[in-house]
Every structure is written in C-alpha cells, then in structure tokens.
Structure 1
Amino acid sequence: MKLLVIDKTAVLNSSHERYERIASHPEVELCVFSPTSWHEHMRQVRAERTHHPAYRIELGRTFWNGSYSRCFYLTGLKKCIRDFRPDVIQLLEEPWSLFAGQAVNYARKFTPDCRLLFYTWENIYREGTYCSKIDFIHRRVEESVFEFASSGICATETAAEVLSRKGFFKPTPVIPYGIPSRFIAAEEEIHRRQARPLSEPPRIGYIGRLLEMKGIETLIRALTKVEGELILLGSGEAEKDLRALSADLGLEPRMTWISAVPPEEVIDHLKSLDVLVLPSRTTVTWAEQLGRVMLEAMGCGVPVIGSSSGSIPEVIGDSGLIFEEGNENTLAEKLRSLFEDVNLRRGLIQSGWEKVRDRYTWRSFADDL
C-alpha cells in the first residue's frame, strides 16, 4: 500500500517518530510531504529532516506561511501526488483548509481511486463560518473534501460530534495525537516522583502561548489564594497585560517569567514543576482542542489541573483535576487539595502516566492510523 501523509508539522524532527513507526509496517510504502519551513512552536522552523532511509520525504514551498486559514502550497504537492500515485492519502489538516482543497483537486486528477482521510481538531460547531475573511472559499473546499474523503479522523469525541453536525456521515474514528517518547518517563522515575516531597514553596507552572484565551489571568488571580511560586514559560501578545496584573496584585516576587524555548528544552522545565495548570477559556470561536502540554506533563509524572474548556475534561478524565473555567476560587481549591493530600497527588501521578503511556504515544497513533 502506497501511503502519502501531508503534514505541515513534519518540518519538526520530533514528528518523524510517528512516521518511523508507520514505515515499520512491511505492507506500507510511505511518503511524507511537508513545507520547506513552517511557523511552529512560536518560531520559524526550516525542515529539520529532509531524507530518511525507511521512507520518502518531499517538500514544497508555501504562501502565507504560518497562516492556518490562508496558507497553500506553491510547489511540490501536485508533482508528489502525480509521481507517487498513492493508494491512500492521509491529510493531517482540517477539511476546510486550502491544503486539503489542493490535495483533493490533485487526487481527483491523478489518483481518483485513492482513499483520502483528513484529520480534524475542530470542537466548536460554527454554522457556515471558518474564522476567516474568505469563508466562502473554505465552505467550498470543505464540501469538496467531504464528498471525496473516505473518512474523517478526529482528535477527540467532540470533534467527531462537530463533523456529524456538519453533515459528514462517513466513518469518524477518534485517534488522538501522541507525544514524543522522550516525554514518557520510565516507571522507576515515576516512583521517585511519587516519593518526592513538594518543593518549598510548591512550583506551579504554565507552558504555552501567552494569549487572553489561554486563561492565564485566572491562574495569576488564583495565586493570591494559595502558597506557591508560579512559573510562566512562553511568549505572546498578552504578556504585557499579565505582567501588569501580577504587579498590581503584588505577585511579582512569586513569579518567574521564561521566554519561549526550543521544544527539546521544554521537558526539563516540565520536570521541575509540582503541578501544571492549563486554565484555558472558551471564546465564541475557540475552545481548547487537546492541550498537548498536559499530556507531556502527565507522561513526565507531573500532576495536571485543567479548566472545563473544550476537550480538556475529555483528555484529562480522572487522571487530573478540573475546575470551572474562569473561576480562580475553584482553581485555588484544586491547588490546595493537590498540595495537602499526598495520596491524591501520588494517585494522579500514577494514573496520568499510565493514561499517556497507553493511549497518547506516537506509537499508538501510528498503529491506529
């Protein structure tokens, strides 16, 4: 079977862990297509891997690089589909994206009998709107993709429900994204973390973009009600306002600000925390779609607390604590519970690690795909 995967995040070397697993299946001849560069993890990344002994890697130049709603391929994709003639095309793109529209157009022309599968994170149903000034184009693209596609793979159950509401009634299996194996701690390390006392003061962390919708204001306000040091790792347009808020509340001595770091350095910061908080807040057009940093924390043996936004409760389940989004009082209560109840803390470390190890690795993603 000739499988073509179209994936903008394949510019990252870490993404190829899943493709190495797919290529290990003897019946699969794999080709991975990605941009020559992409804006990922708050930085512009040139393709970190351009060849692999087990599968083909093809690259194409893009226009509007980094824009999820407007970006499309200028070169490479047409030639790749024409020459490779895949039996299956796996689009790791939303069905309304211009990337998806291009893939369907070329597939219809050069390999009309192939099976095409797209991947979706969308967990808010927006009738006829796509958060873009070119809604009419995205609507036409999505209609074309829905007609041609054999299946729509969903990151969460909520994403599958949204597809159904949109009128897509073909198979919609839920196959969640994975995380790199370096974030899955050895069992001995988990036992050491369970036996380790809390830091003094406890280290509370947030890792990600500093944006209003990420709910960091709620986390800062909760800090006034609990003991602890807050570490914010990331950059974003809300940083100035968040710094002003922390100063107004007299919290600056208890806060550490760290600018965005390369992906390979995140793990060391994660492991230094006693708890990771993802306090996202739902907007009219967005709700948290997965919260990958939660999975990375759980895999490292760090307990997590998440808001009720979007797919956070589905991802965390009973392996973390949930608070009402935007409510600093309930967040503070969850933090105190975690700090004061050693059995709760140890249990969450164990169940979180087991959940990620069994369900959210690139190995399981590749095998399910």
Structure 2
Amino acid sequence: RSKQRLEPATSDETYSISRIRTVGRFQSHRGILNPLDVSAFLRKETDLLFVDSEPESLAVAEFLALLPAGRGVPVWISTWSNIWFGEGYPYRFSWLYRRAAKRALGRVSGVLCYSAEAPAVLRRLGFRGRIERTEWGVDTALFRSFDATALRRELGLDGFIAGYVGRLVPEKGVADLVRAASEIGGTALLAVGSGPMRPALKRMAGGCALPLRIVERVPHVDLPFYLNAMDVLVLPSRTTAVWKEQFGKVLVEAMACGIPAVGSSSGEIPRVIGNPALIFPEGDPRALGAILAGLRDDSRERLSLGSAARLRAETVFSWPVVARQLIGVLAAARRSAG
C-alpha cells in the first residue's frame, strides 16, 4: 500500500512479489486464501516462511496444512494480541480458533510480536519457541507536515482543533474527548471515521455548543491532509474485557506529520507515544482536558512536541527502520535453523 519502497538489507539480497488471491472478502482471522495460489507459492525454494498473521487465523492454518511434508522449512508467524483470553476467543466459533491457535503454536518455530505484552500472552498459551519483537511502521514520505489551512477553512473549523481518527465505538473513548473539549472550551473537534456512536456524539456536542465535524470514508492516502488540519491528535481508548489498544497506528501517522499525539493509558499507547506528559488515565476526561488546555494555550510547546514526534516517527517507526529490524530477525532465525 505504501508508496515508499523498502530496500533489502544488503545489495546482494533480492526479493520478488507473488500474487495470492483471497476467497471472498478477506477479514482478519477469518480470511481465506486461494489454496491453489498458496500451494504454488509454497513450491518455491525458500529458507524460511514468514506468515504475517495471528496464530488463530485461517490463513496461517492454510499455509501450515499446504506446506509440503518433509520440506523442513522453519515457519514464523506474527501477533498483536496483548490480552489473555483463557480458554476461548471473543469470536463466534471460538472453539475453532482456539484449536487453530493451539495447532499453529505447536508447529511454528517462532513468533514476531508487534506489541510489548504479546510475548507474555504467548507463553501463557504454552508456546515454547522463539519470540522476537519489532515495531510497526509508518510511511514518513506520505505522512509529513504541510499547510492544511485550506482544508480547515473547507471544514468550517478554526482556532485550536483536537482530532481523532478511528472507529466511532464506545471502547475508543471518543465520548471522553467530547466531554474534555466541552469542559475546557476554546476547542473544536475533528473526527475522521464512522461507527454506531456518531449520532450520540453529535448530540453530545450539540448539547454543549461544541464545534464537531465528523468526516467518514477518507482514503488512506488523503489522511495526512486531515491530520495536518489538527493541532493535536487524541486516542482516548478504554480497555475492555476483550480488547485494549494494541498499537494505535494513527498515533505514529500523526507523529510523522509533526502533530503531537495525546493518548490514554490503554495498552500500547503510552509506549508508542513515548512521552508521559501526553498520557492520561483512561476514562478520565478531566485529566485529558488538562493536557488539551495546556497545548491549546502554548503554541510554542505544541511546535516543540510536534518536532519531537516527527523525530521519533523517523527514528523508531519509519518503514526502513522497521524493515531492517524484520530482516535482522528473520535472517537470524534462518541462521539458527541451519
């Protein structure tokens, strides 16, 4: 998807791209791949197979089932999971995914974790293989800072704008953002996303005369325009029994645009942002409001935080940096497998 080309680690290594079609609509753990394409891909000569999908996913099950017997190729998979679900998964047909995960973790050589809590979850699941950590990346050529005054004008928003990008659902905590902005005043909200909470959020904002603009269905390549129209990006997620923030991709996208990112204490958010002063206890609109008020009233501090955010995005989360991490992990796994 990214326009930015990822180069191999060294000049003597090459890569090629093979097309593997999906069967119907591909949806996360439920996605099914075309078995003919998978079989054709698995006939290629490889030293290691990395399937970038969760242990319970049907795609991982397909690759493991179709891998020719006797190949002896080490297989790695990945996970974002940062919650221990016990004996089940929060999906329909939980038993099927539990069985798929158990089978996968019994066969793969290693798992690449994108969240800091995932290794502990894997050990509780009984996995005894190799575990490595890498970050997720952001395209720092696409997501960058530029003037979005025209878009702000088009949206009918001015002054200090706090933004949100993501699903409009209770666990994302957008209602806390509305409450915080209404309490401190002098703040407009820009939300990019859709979901069942849209009507309720509009009512909340209307009841306190809070300027709120909700924009749905923004293409990913256009998202930098909307991020640059914000003065601060807020991810106010709330942990539930079956979910907590696994990374927050929009955080690093905003940071790459030089926009300060503020987030709750849910899951990976504090680690990704990397600045305790921009973190508030989840479910605490008053604490969020205090952070927003400080940023609203100090444009110099916003600029300083934005510059630091861009630097963190470039040095920790840019795709070239993450690609080198991934290549290093897989190269080491190949060497250790002999």
Would you call these one fold, judging by a TM-score over 0.5?
A: yes
In structure 2, the residue matched to 1:9 is none
1:143 aligns with 2:102: yes
- How far apart are residue 17 of structure 1 and its match? 4.2
Q: TM-score under structure 1 normalisation?
A: 0.79
- How far apart are residue 133 of structure 1 and its match? 2.0
Q: 1:88 aligns with which of 36, 41, 48?
A: 48
1:240 aligns with 2:199: yes
Q: 1:175 aligns with which of 134, 148, 163?
A: 134
In structure 1, the residue matched to 2:65 is 105
In structure 2, the residue matched to 1:322 is 279
In structure 1, the residue matched to 2:288 is 331
1:264 aligns with 2:264: no
Q: Distance in 1 between matches of 2:223 and 2:277?
A: 20
Q: Distance in 2 between matches of 1:256 and 1:91?
A: 40
User: Which ranges in structure 1 are unaligned for 5 or more consecutive residues?
Assistant: 1-12, 31-54, 191-198
Cα deviation 1:251-275 (Å, max 9, x = unaligned): 2xx1112112111100011112110
Q: 1:154 aligns with which of 100, 113, 126?
A: 113
- How far apart are residue 200 of structure 1 and its match? 5.4
Q: 2:244 aligns with which of 281, 287, 292?
A: 287
Q: TM-score under structure 2 normalisation?
A: 0.86
1:56 aligns with 2:17: yes
Q: Which amino acid aligns with 1:355?
A: R
**Counterparts in 2 of 1:320 and 1:66: CA distance versus 1, 3 Å:** farther
Q: Distance in 2 between matches of 1:184 and 1:232?
A: 18
Q: Distance in 1 between matches of 2:234 and 2:115?
A: 20
Q: Which shifted more, 336-345 or 266-275?
A: 336-345
Q: Which amino acid aligns with 1:57?
A: S
**Counterparts in 2 of 1:263 and 1:162: CA distance versus 1, 3 Å:** same
Q: Distance in 2 between matches of 1:151 and 1:82?
A: 18
In structure 1, the residue matched to 2:264 is 307
Q: 2:183 aligns with which of 225, 234, 241?
A: 225
> Partner of 1:277: helix, strand, or coil?
strand
Q: Which amino acid aligns with 2:245?
A: E
Q: Distance in 2 between matches of 1:164 and 1:98?
A: 21
Q: Distance in 2 between matches of 1:77 and 1:100?
A: 14
> Partner of 1:86: helix, strand, or coil?
coil
- How far apart are residue 231 of structure 1 and its match? 0.6
In structure 1, the residue matched to 2:163 is 205
Cα deviation 1:260-304 (Å, max 9, x = unaligned): 211110001111211000111111111111111110111111001
**Counterparts in 2 of 1:92 and 1:121: CA distance versus 1, 3 Å:** same
In structure 1, the residue matched to 2:310 is 353
Contact 2:29/2:59 (8 A) holds in 1: no
User: Identity of paired residues, percent?
Assistant: 28
In structure 1, the residue matched to 2:29 is 69
**RMSD over aligned Cα atoms:** 2.3
User: Which ranges in structure 2 are unaligned for 5 or more consecutive residues?
Assistant: 148-156, 327-338
Q: Which amino acid aligns with 1:240?
A: P
Contact 1:154/1:174 (8 A) holds in 2: yes
Contact 1:319/1:348 (8 A) holds in 2: no
Q: Distance in 1 between matches of 2:36 and 2:290?
A: 53
In structure 1, the residue matched to 2:234 is 277
Cα deviation 1:217-271 (Å, max 9, x = unaligned): 11111111222111111112221222222223332xx111211211110001111
In structure 1, the residue matched to 2:174 is 216
Cα deviation 1:195-224 (Å, max 9, x = unaligned): xxxx95201111122122111111111111
Cα deviation 1:3-49 (Å, max 9, x = unaligned): xxxxxxxxxx32x746x424x6445453xxxxxxxxxxxxxxxxxxx
